[in-house]
Structure formats: structure tokens, C-alpha cells
Amino acid sequence: MPEISFLEALTILALISGPIFAVLVTRFIDHAVDRRKRKIAIFRDLMLYRRIPLSSGFVSALNLIELEFRKNKTVIDSFNELMENFSKEWPQKESEQHQLMNERQTRTTALIMIVGGALRIKTKMVEISEGGYIPLVWHNNEQQEREKNRLINEILNGNRVLSVNLVLPENNNDQG
């Protein structure tokens, strides 16, 4: 059996390991690209729905932050601050409600800024807090829905009385 030289052995090793190494590098790069795409999708949804915080798109994006940004302490800290605000009980006084909503808006804006910064996407705070479009009718509907819920809760909690008037139907003898 002929003896294989060192150079021939190295060539055979390169022929076998080269394609394997290339596949591993490609998979690593694909994984990194996919991870970035998922993070950008979260940022996009946060920006897209920032004026509609009760939308399923915004809530879904928030719920994915812990998963996709788990290694980024700055993002997670900002996320936790916002979640702390969301977990506060809704105040009864209107002035406290406005204060809570302003704080919520500030923390949401900060989170979006931090997520964008983590992705090296430059945004201005004013673009986040003042930008985006929502039709006035959507905003009005959301306000009306909140007001209805508030009134229903007051009735259910015994803080408001619901008066009911019974009206008997008129007797119509012209059937026939």
C-alpha cells in the first residue's frame, strides 16, 4: 500500500472538511440574518402600531421582546419598566389617569428608541412620540369604548344606578 504524503493528506482533509465548514458558516450566517429579521419585525410593529397600543400587533410585538432581545439588558430593562407601568391599577381621578397615560407614552417611546438603537436604526424621539397616523374616528371609537367599559364597571361595582323603564307594546286590533 502506497504511503500518503503529508500534503496529500492535507488535500484530502481539505476536500472533506471544506464543504462541511462552508455549510456550517452559511447556517450560522442564515441564523444571524433570521434573528435580525425577527428583531426588525418587532421594531416595525412597535412603530406601526405605536398610536394604537391596544392593537393585537402592538401587544404581540411587546410579547416577543423578551424572547428576541433576551440578551440585551438595556432593552429588557426598558421593557420591564413599561410592563411595570402597564400593571399599575387604573386611577379613579382623571388627573391621575392623564399622568399615568403620559408616563406610559414616555416609557413606550423610550422602549421603541432603545429597540431601534439596538438594531442600529436611527430614529428621533419626536418621530416616535408624535409620528404615525391613526384616523380620528378610530381614536374616538377607542375613547367611546373605554367610556362604555368605565360606566359598565361603575354599574357592576354598585357605584352607579341603572334605571330601567318598561314600555308596554301598544295593542293593535287592526290585524286581520
pLDDT reported for residue 134: 75
Per-residue pLDDT of the chain (176 residues; tens, 9 = 90+): 678 899 988 898 889 999 999 999 999 999 999 999 999 999 999 999 888 888 899 999 999 999 999 999 999 999 999 999 999 998 888 889 899 999 999 999 999 999 999 999 988 887 887 777 777 787 788 889 889 998 999 999 999 998 888 888 887 665 54
In a domain, 164, yes or no: no
Q: Is 50 helix (H, G, I), strand (E, B) or coil?
A: coil
Question: In this structure, is residue 37 part of a structural domain?
Answer: yes
Question: Which string of b and e fits 114-141 if b means at least 16 CB within 10 Å?
Answer: bbbebbeeebeeebbbeeeeeeeeeeee
Asked if residue 96 is part of any domain, the answer here is yes
What residue type is assigned to position 34 of the chain?
D
What's the domain range around 82? 6-156
Note whether residue 163 is domain-resident: no
Calculate Rg over the CA atoms of the chain: 29
In a domain, 91, yes or no: yes
Whether residue 80 is contained in a domain is answered as yes
123-54-36 Cα angle (round to 5): 40
Structural domain contains residue 165: no
- Domain presence at residue 16: yes
Are the C-beta atoms of 131 and 92 separated by less than 8 Å?
A: no
Predicted local distance difference test score (pLDDT) of residue 108: 95
Please give the tally of structural domains in the chain. 1
